[in-house]
Amino acid sequence: MAGGVVRYVPLSPPADGDTAISSSGDWTLDMEKLKSTFNSKMRMLVLNSPHNPVGKVFSTEELSAIGKLCVKYNTIIIADDVYYRLTYIPAKRMATLSPEIRNLILTEMGFWDKSREEMQGKINRFVQVLEELGLPYTDPQGGYFVLVNFSRLKFPQGYEFSSSVASRPRDFKLSWFLGLAATVISLGYDAMMGATTFGHGVEKN
């Protein structure tokens, strides 16, 4: 935030962490230090759980204590829990603890609507090029792969492949050729759909 002052409260490793195997859950947050950072001017708290890079999953008790402080001081919570589906122990999300805490958490709305609009735009631009080249394609109803039929595409006369490529199927050769000649990376589907069909992902810029 413009003009804001950032105050950090670090996680502390276990006392024997330099000599023994420990769990990321053994890393601790100094709650007294955290409490001392709160005051009437505190506007926002950022919490990362599971923590990156430690991997600590904050316990329900820890999350509840942090959440209650935020409720007390009406502090906005940015809950960075991008890895919440990749946990190896039971885990709670901050937003599930209470309505009061949930109301303080910033939630981005419309992510999938924005993603759908972005992908559709990329697909439209890509297939426009295919139409200009006269290449048949499959217009996807979902996902971000466009299947293209390259049966009309011919290799330049006299083009020689390296020995490691020469014996490969046509789709592999074409993928190789497109990558070198046009820096277009495609995925051949010889095993599933024949050696003339390629998949192009449009998710990258």
- Write out the chain's pLDDT in tens, 205 residues: 567 899 999 999 998 887 888 899 999 999 999 999 999 999 999 999 999 889 999 999 999 999 999 999 999 999 988 888 889 999 999 999 999 999 999 876 677 788 889 889 988 998 898 899 888 888 888 887 888 777 777 777 878 888 888 888 777 777 777 777 666 666 655 544 455 565 656 666 6
Nearest to 95 by CA among 108, 110, 113: 108
Rounded to two decimals, the pTM is: 0.60
Q: Give the CA distances from residue 201 to residues 58, 148, 184, in Å, rounded to whole numbers and listed in that order.
A: 37, 11, 11
Which helix (DSSP H) or strand (DSSP E) does residue 181 occupy?
helix 170-182
Residue 159: predicted pLDDT: 80
Domains along the chain with CATH numbers: 11-102 (3.40.640.10), 112-201 (3.90.1150.10)
Query: Phi and psi (nearest 5°) for 98?
Result: -165, 155
d(CA 16, CA 3): 40
Residue 152: predicted pLDDT: 76
d(CA 117, CA 110): 11
Residues 176, 161 contacting (CB under 8 angstroms): yes
Nearest to 96 by CA among 108, 88, 84: 84
Q: Give the CA distances from residue 45 to residues 2, 138, 197, in Å, rounded to whole numbers and listed in that order.
A: 15, 47, 50
Residue 74: predicted pLDDT: 97
How many other C-beta atoms can be found within 10 angstroms of the C-beta atom of residue 117? 10
Nearest to 93 by CA among 29, 108, 85, 31: 85
